[in-house]
Structure 1
Amino acid sequence: MPQLSPLNWIFLFILFWVAVLSISVMIWWVKKVYFSPEISKRFEIKENKWNW
């Protein structure tokens, strides 16, 4: 393995964590729940029977 300068190690470290964070954000974005009127119409919304 070739020796890298300290600046290149810092760049590799930053690049690694940017990749990890971007992949985790993409996974979160795909799996997040969308609360939109079209989706909520599919579910029957029951009236609240409590008086509070």
Structure 2
Amino acid sequence: MQNVKYKRVVLKISGEALAGETNFGLDTETLDGIADSIKQVFELNVEVAIVV
């Protein structure tokens, strides 16, 4: 198991970030990438709060 600095983090994501390169609505590829990143952090036993 990796040693992590924080046990809890807050991730603030803007609507623009979720739109990706489409500039409107939600981009599924962008969402998949963000979800994969969150999953990796979660698997390190870090609690993740998400604010959109």
Structure (1/2) with the larger helix percentage: 1
Higher alpha-carbon Rg: 1
TM-score (norm 2): 0.36
TM-score (norm 1): 0.36
The higher-RCO structure (CA 8 Å, 6+ apart) is 2
